[in-house]
Amino acid sequence: MTRRDFSERDIHLALDGELPDEDRSDFEAWLESTPEMKARSLRFEADRLRLRAAFAGVLEERVPDRLAMRTAGETSSPIARALRWRFAAAAALFLALGAGGGYIAGIRGVGLEALAEDELAEEAIAAHTIYAAEQRHAVEVGADDKDHLLAWLSKRVGVTLIAPDLQAEGFHLVGGRLLPAGQKTAGLLLYEDAKGNRISIYVTAEGEEKAKGIYQLETGGASAVYWLDEGWGCAVVGTLPQDQLLDVGKKAYRQLLAGAGMV
């Protein structure tokens, strides 16, 4: 049987549990072979979780009397009103989750706009999840051609990149690759220690907003230590204990800034 073509619509069907069972294995194989779509799927899932958390209490709220819906001659009981309110809330949530494209983008202005640092961290975690697990195709350019790698990424990303020296922390450079980042591009540098643990450094040109912190998806997995500053967006991602990841991240970020002459 020939595998059918998949699209972004199928990502939404899968997230909603509506993808036919017979298509599931082919869909998963398609995601694995299409890194951009897998990263998009991870991003949509993260947005979905944020929305579910934001609306979590709505279905349990008492129906406001002013919103009670009655037909002529109907005496609306509290139970009936509650059911109608909950159905309406569920419908609103369904529309928000199924709007397509970017879940958060469709409801800006109601207090749920995605923060720039959240977007940066989620994109970095999605990229790390995809490529850190790869053995043969984790990077486009290996560490043996580091000068070319850094010159290429610097030109395409729009910031001067160096490869931080993390040998004292036990990590050596594996290589890197270029990634899409919305309307821009991002550079990914991948590192590995003697035990096979991998961390990645995700860098993109951002605006003037300043932020820093540690971010982890509600589904668990890798964490991101991120910074937004000086026109840079940088996230160091891995599954290390957070104290260790924060220490490695700080050392990497200081070297990146020093390499670009920003310290």
Q: Give tens-digit pLDDT for 87-120.
A: 455 445 444 444 443 333 333 333 334 466 778 8
Distance from C-alpha of 153 to C-alpha of 149, rounded to nearest angstrom: 6
Instruction: Name every residue whose Cβ is closer than 8 Å to that of residue 136 and which is 6 or more positions away in sequence.
Output: none
Q: What is the mean pLDDT of residues 210-215?
A: 86
The domain spans of the chain are 8-107, 116-259
* Burial degree of 237 (CB within 10 A; 0-12, 13-18, 19+): buried
Least confident of 9-13, 188-192, 204-208, 255-259: 204-208
Does 83 or 164 have the greater pLDDT score?
164
The pTM for the full model equals: 0.60
Sheet holding 211-216, edge to edge: 141-142, 171-181, 184-193, 198-205, 232-238, 223-229, 211-216
Would you place residue 237 in the very low, low, confident or very high pLDDT band (cuts 50, 70, 90)? very high
Extract the tokens encoding 164: 């931080």
Could you confirm whether domain 116-259 is CATH 3.30.390.30? no
| pLDDT (average), residues 232-249 | 93
**What percent of the chain lies above the pLDDT cut of 90?**
35
Average pLDDT taken over every residue of the chain: 77
Helix axes 116-131, 35-54, angle to 10 degrees: 140
Instruction: Say if residue 163's pLDDT is above 50.
Output: yes
- Bridge-based pairing of strands 184-193 and 223-229 is unpaired
Considering 41-55, 94-108, 141-155, 201-215, the range whose residues carry the highest mean pLDDT is 141-155
pLDDT-based confidence at 71, cuts 50/70/90? very low
The larger pLDDT score, comparing residue 198 to residue 67, is at: 198
Q: How far apart, in Å, are the Cα atoms of 203 and each of 31, 132, 150?
A: 24, 16, 12
Whether the pLDDT of residue 259 is over 90: the answer is no
